[in-house]
Amino acid sequence: TPDAWCMQSMSAHDSLLSVTWLDDINFSPGKHLLNTYYNPLKNSFTTPKIIAANDSMIETPSVALLPSKRSLITWSQSTLNESSIDTNLMSMDSVMQTHNIWFSICDTNQIYGRWKLLNNTTAESEPNVHWGPSNKGIITWERGDPVNGGNDIYFTEVTENGINYPVHIGNLAVRC
């Protein structure tokens, strides 16, 4: 069961539960993003799958259990390795600007893929996935607006079409 980080996300559909969490205790070096399924009919979790790994920063996981029983997982991940961060030359802001938004599709048996959704966001972008009862969902994220100040909230629509997941990138939802 998830026992490492309190930063987790859960989603349920019918009698199935998908749990995604970060673990930097049971893996060394670095941080791992893991996913497992709980089936109450069997009263057990599946063996956790490693969705992503990085020796520095993976942040803000989010999961949605789709009607097909597959999970759509989002997270932000640094492009830097811990060893390449020079605190004498880099500010915290410049380190935080190295995050990309990623998403993955998996089920109880396999990971179908990992895709980079967006480059050069910030860890505060906090990507989230939201899914209803149909074959469509959205991924939302926040981005700082250096020109106008404040933050902008973006979304992208994802459609589950068999084994394909067409994604339409970058619609501005709200300017804060």
Q: What is the enclosing helix (H) or strand (E) of 20?
A: strand 16-23
Judge residue 59's burial from the number of C-beta atoms within 10 Å of its C-beta, 0-12 exposed, 13-18 middle, 19 or more buried. Answer: buried
Q: Which two tokens stand for residue 153?
A: 């909230």
Q: Give the number of other Cβ atoms within 10 Å of residue 9's Cβ.
A: 21
Q: Give the number of other Cβ atoms within 10 Å of residue 53's Cβ.
A: 15
Per-residue pLDDT band for 85 (boundaries 50, 70, 90) equals confident
Judge residue 17's burial from the number of C-beta atoms within 10 Å of its C-beta, 0-12 exposed, 13-18 middle, 19 or more buried. Answer: middle
Distances (CA, A) of 46 to 11, 36, 37, 109, 136: 15, 6, 5, 9, 26
pLDDT, mean of residues 157-163: 79
pLDDT the model gives residue 28 = 66
Distance CA 131, CA 57 (A): 26
pLDDT of 110-120, one tens digit each? 999 888 886 66
Q: What is the pTM assigned to this prediction?
A: 0.83
Per-residue pLDDT band for 55 (boundaries 50, 70, 90) equals confident
Per-residue pLDDT band for 79 (boundaries 50, 70, 90) equals confident
What secondary structure does DSSP assign to 44-89, as a single string? EEPPPEEEEEESS-EEEEEEEE-TTS-EEEEEEEESS-GGG--TTT
pLDDT the model gives residue 65 = 92
- Of 16-20, 133-137, 169-173, the least confident: 169-173
Per-residue pLDDT band for 148 (boundaries 50, 70, 90) equals confident
Per-residue pLDDT band for 98 (boundaries 50, 70, 90) equals confident
